[in-house]
Structure formats: C-alpha cells, structure tokens
Amino acid sequence: MKKQKLFWFLVLLFGVAIIWLAIQHTNITHTDAFLVDVGLPTSPVDEQIIRHAAIALSYSELHEQARWVTYSLNPLRLGGKEERSDRFAADQAVLTGSAADSDYKKSGYDRGHLAPAADMSWSAVTMKESFFFSNISPQVPAFNRGVWKKLEETARRWAKQCDSVIVVTGPVFTDSLGVIGGNEVTVPSAFYKILLMFRGNDIVPAAFLMPNKKLEQELASFVVSIDSIEELTLVDFFSGLPNALETEVEANKCVLLDGKVTHPVFRFKRAS
C-alpha cells in the first residue's frame, strides 16, 4: 500500500513539474506579435544578430557592446517577481567574444544596462540574460543612476497602461568618450531609448536622446524624433510598419504633459 501511494505521489509530482516547465517555456519563447509587426532594427554594418529569451540585439565587435537592443514589455511581464541577480557574465552567444567584467573594473564607469534588469523580472532566464555584457555599456555613474534610471522607470509606468510596448535602446558612438579595458570597449557619447506604445488600435511613439553625463533637466528636455536618432546612428527602425505610417511615426516628436505622452497618436491595424 505504501509503495502504491509513493508511486501515485511521484506521478503527481512529475505532472506538476511538466506543467510548470510548459508554462515557463510558453512564457519565454512567446514571440510578441507587435514585435514581429514592426520588425527588427537594421544596423548600418554587418553585425551578429543575437536572439535571447526576451531581447534581440545587434552586437558590434568594433565597440564591444550592442549597437541596439530591442524587446517587448506588457503589464503581465512587469508583474514578475524574479529578483535582480547582479551576476554579470560574458555572453557566450557572441561568436567573437563579448566584453568582460575586467574591462569595467576601476574604469570609473558603471556597467549600464541597455535592457534594464527590472524589465526582465518575469523569469529567471530573462533576468540572467539581462546581465550578459552584450547588454551592458559604459555609463557615467551620475547618468546611469539619475535621469536614465528615471526614464527606465517612466517607461515601465507607461507600459502598465498599454497592451504592449516595443522598446529599442542603444548607444551613440559618434564623438565617443574613449575606450576602457583590454577589449577596448567604446564609451558612448550618448544613449537613446525609443518606445512604440500600442493601445488597442492606437500606436503612440516616444523617443529620447541623452548625453552620457550628469544631467539635471526633466525628461521632456530630451525628447527627439525617431528620424533624428536614425540620422545620428544610421540604424533603420520599424521597417516592418506600412511605409506611410512609418514615415509619420518616425517624423513626429512626442509631447509630455504631467509625465504622460499626450500625442502624437496614430491608428494602427495589425496584419492578420
């Protein structure tokens, strides 16, 4: 009798484990339909495109960091409970080898996230991958812990009010601040963050460009058009959108009022 009970207990335990793994797999490998619609950014040079569980990135071997990182946010993912790991590691997916912790040690720069760890709290895998050095860039400490952090927090607050938000973040290498470490990691002169917010049939763009230094101004001071970031970085964003919509979305600057994006708002019909 005891053996029979043990047998059924093990069967139940195995079943629970299978269900849990299935849920985790579905969550991690889910392809966000909105991300498919807008398409991945296109880099100006041939670079390795890496797709992790949550983020996709274009790795610049020349600069030893991502040229851009993109991922999707939604209210469900922001409800994750995974704690920040702080376990920085080389990205084994980078064929030429990524930057390393030694590059940043005693450099005077923070190991700044492009896709923030707080956006990746919905699974242990995504949290771990957010600490790969392919997702890290040298940031002035006062910048990383100041206005840049405020922008990241604001993006999460906006995402909670949307169906989905496509985020693209990257460094600006023009007029760089030099290099650090044995791998000669470029210190960017600035960083950008682009948001495409989807609410029902509406699409609301917002783009920010910030110099890599201590900043005191409010977020509204750093609002730019997506077109201006394309001109600066030579990266082509959102080519998957219909041409007319892409032109409008990328040409217009958003307007912030009381910490919210008031306009522009464009109508968007997803491909069936």
Instruction: Give catalytic status of residue 113 as yes or no.
Output: yes
Cis peptide before 264 (omega within 30 of 0): yes
Spatial contact of 190 and 203, defined as CB atoms under 8 Å apart: no
Active-site annotation holder among 30, 52, 63, 113: 113
Instruction: Return d(Cα 247, Cα 255) in angstroms, integer.
Output: 18
Q: How far is CA 192 from CA 2, 10, 15, 167, 258, in A?
A: 63, 52, 46, 10, 22
SS3 195: strand
Instruction: Return d(Cα 101, Cα 88) in angstroms, integer.
Output: 7
Q: What is the CA radius of gyration of the chain?
A: 20
The residues assigned a catalytic role are 113
